[in-house]
Amino acid sequence: MTDAAPLYSSVLLRHHGAVAGHGPDAGVAAHYGDPVHEQRALARGRAVVDESQRGVVTVSGPDRLSWLTTLSSQVLTGLSPGQSSETLFLSVQGRVEYAPHVLDDGETTWLIAEAEEAPGLAGWLDSMRFALRVEVRDVSAQWAVLAATRDLGPILTDALSAAAGDENRPVLVWHDPWPEVSAGGHAYGAPEEHPGRERSWYEHLVPVDALETAVSALGERGISLAGSWAAEALRIEAWRPRWGMETDEKTIPHELDWMRTAVHLSKGCYKGQETVARVHNLGHPPRRLTLLDLDGSQHTLPEAGATVELGGKVVGRVTAAQLHHEAGPVALAVLKRSVDPSAVLTVRDVVRAGEETGGATAPDDSAAAELAREEWAASQTVVVPPDAGSVVGRAQGLMRGPRGGGMRL
């Protein structure tokens, strides 16, 4: 089935060569004609990604940070103006419901979310206000995100201030804390040599009506546009989880190594904390995130949702796949914890020749579509080890591997 027309369509889709994205990146460009070149430029800090389809929720009022702390998995009280964090809002069962990026400017807390995530997040937060001095607003229609591997805040601030005649409002910039272990966090894989250290990531908040002005100013300084495929390739190689991609209705933070940046294990009570503590201290997460190195002999890539199989049995699903400019075809997948980390797996997907969708091809509901089963051999790099959790009484420092706890097998 093809994607429905997005409710949002970026003005930057008018740029030469722009090919529209789909799924969570609908409404912005997947690429502008040369995705590998764009990816290399992005990795070097010479490109910017239009993520204006993202959702933005603001929380203002004097009680905002202490209130958000009581509701979420992270300690946000005392967050300094300009300091970046991320948090999770969980169900009673400890499953991830929302996973916003968090930035405070001293008066307002900004929550950067996925497009489909923002309305529910804003609605739920508004229902939890009670008598506290907070105000929640979904400002997705007014604010956009431009992402890059370097801080472009000073350039954007100068350009937008000159255009608006306002020199008092600097561009807000969220700096991704991944993969550093935040205060109160815990890394299941060894933190040394984590591939995420090679990826700095910044998300800049600009007014939607200033997108063209911002991109033009960056272009004058040699910073070109890159599409969402480029951003996804760098994210996958960095093992970075994304809401709506690696998550589903059963996801708990431990499965995606989100304990390192989004969970404070010593904070007070919050919804879902019992599950977080129980799995971390006494149990094991039922699934685990892994990086898959895919057979590069084929010209296609699996779509999100493709099955991962071992011995003819389904043991997981692909969450995202892209062609990395150095590592080749790679994917993130969520597997059953019991899957042997040394096993070579098979990824299977249904594809339709001739329709481009993120490096792969996808079926639609046309009876005349030429459908075919396609498969890829895949080797694992462990992101979350099978024995993650049960840290009570465990000797520390025993899980070490070549890529931040991963085992290249």
Return the residue matching tokens 């998550």: 247
Each residue of 240-267: pLDDT tens digit?
Answer: 999 999 999 999 999 999 999 999 999 9
| CATH code of the domain covering residue 63 | 3.30.1360.120
Each residue of 60-101: pLDDT tens digit?
Answer: 999 999 999 999 999 999 999 999 999 999 999 999 999 999
In a domain, 64, yes or no: yes
Rounded-to-integer distance, Cα 386 and Cα 321, Å: 22
Q: Identify the pLDDT of residue 399.
A: 37
CA angle 61, 96, 172 (to 5 degrees): 40
Whether 220 and 349 map to the same domain: the answer is no
Q: Alpha-carbon Rg of the chain, whole angstroms?
A: 21
- This prediction's pTM: 0.90
In a domain, 197, yes or no: yes
Q: Identify the pLDDT of residue 6.
A: 52
Tell me which residues of the chain have a pLDDT lower than 50: 1-5, 354-363, 366-369, 396-409
Note the maximum CA span of the chain: 64
Q: How many angstroms from the chain centroid is the CA of residue 87?
A: 13
Rounded-to-integer distance, Cα 137 and Cα 246, Å: 27
- Contact (CB, 8 A) for 210 and 50: no
The first and second tokens of residue 394, run together, are 């465990």
In a domain, 129, yes or no: yes
Whether 291 and 154 map to the same domain: the answer is no
In a domain, 20, yes or no: yes
Query: What residues make up the domain containing 209?
Result: 11-237
In a domain, 255, yes or no: no
| CATH code of the domain covering residue 332 | 2.40.30.110
In a domain, 390, yes or no: no
